[in-house]
Amino acid sequence: MNERILTELIESFGDLFMAALKVSLPLTLASFSTGLVIAFLVALAQIAKIPVLKQLVRVYVWIIRCTPMIVQLFIVYFGLPSIGIKFGSFTSAWIVMSLSIGAYCSETVRAAIESVPVGQLEACYCDGLTFWQAMIHVIVPQALRTAFPPLSNSIIGLVKDTSLAYNVALVEVLATAQRIASRTYDYFWLYLEAGLVYLIFCSVLTVIQSKAEAALERRR
């Protein structure tokens, strides 16, 4: 590394960091929030044992988990316009990543809910609560404590997965690094710096995860 490259990296770091703040992080939060709602609905649909609905959500989970996210992105961004449905880069990435998180996390949520003793659900029925009331007010809050560690790991993984949105013209961290590198030809150093930005954000989330888990343990 020479002085020119060092100066270039210092100047480009701000662009990469801002791309993470303005695009990668909002995409992560939006996708995870939506995906988490989907995950709970899918998990509850399976536990409720409504025949047709249960089969439909199982097909959804099967398709999402058995196909690459990059293929799903290409279908939504490049494929759907051919049948008259068009979404922007951010919206396409949000849809695909939300569905992905919903499918993967639904299994985590389902397992966490089923780990709550069955007697608690029976006690809710004795108190006159319906299935959905029991789930929302009694079972799910307890299940969240069990599901928190794997769910928080999912959001850290999602931060890194936002780099895939580069393939559908979304200018996030990797795309910003690529644009700068195509002008300077310092691909190795720019990609290394992009990795550093992801490392910083994921490390911060890891610290938050550890503190949140410790807080949950103290409340038990």
pLDDT tens track for 10-30? 889 999 999 999 999 999 999
**Strand runs (DSSP E) across 89-172, as ranges?**
none
Which pair of tokens denotes residue 116? 């709550």
When divided into structural domains, the chain yields a total of 1
pLDDT at 48: 78
Backbone angles phi, psi at 171, to 5 degrees: -85, 80
Structural domain harbouring 20 = 3-219
For the chain, what's the residue count? 220
The whole-number pLDDT of residue 171 equals: 87
Higher pLDDT, 85 or 51: 85
Terminal CA-to-CA distance of the chain, rounded, Å? 52
Per-position b or e across 18-54, b if 16+ CB within 10 A of its CB: ebbeebbbebbebbbebbbebbbebbbbbbeeeeeee
Residue 1 has a pLDDT of: 65
- Positive or negative, the CA dihedral 101, 106, 111, 113 is positive
- As a whole number, mean pLDDT of residues 99-123 equals 87
Q: What integer pLDDT is reported at residue 220 of this predicted model?
A: 61
Mean pLDDT score of the chain, rounded to an integer?
89
CATH number at residue 183: 1.10.3720.10
Instruction: Look up the pTM and report it.
Output: 0.87
- Residue 173: per-residue pLDDT: 94
Distance CA 103, CA 154 (A): 12
For residue 205, which of 157, 143, 141, 147 has the smallest C-alpha distance? 157
Helices 140-161 and 25-48: crossing angle, nearest 10°?
140
What local confidence, expressed as pLDDT, does residue 134 receive? Answer: 84
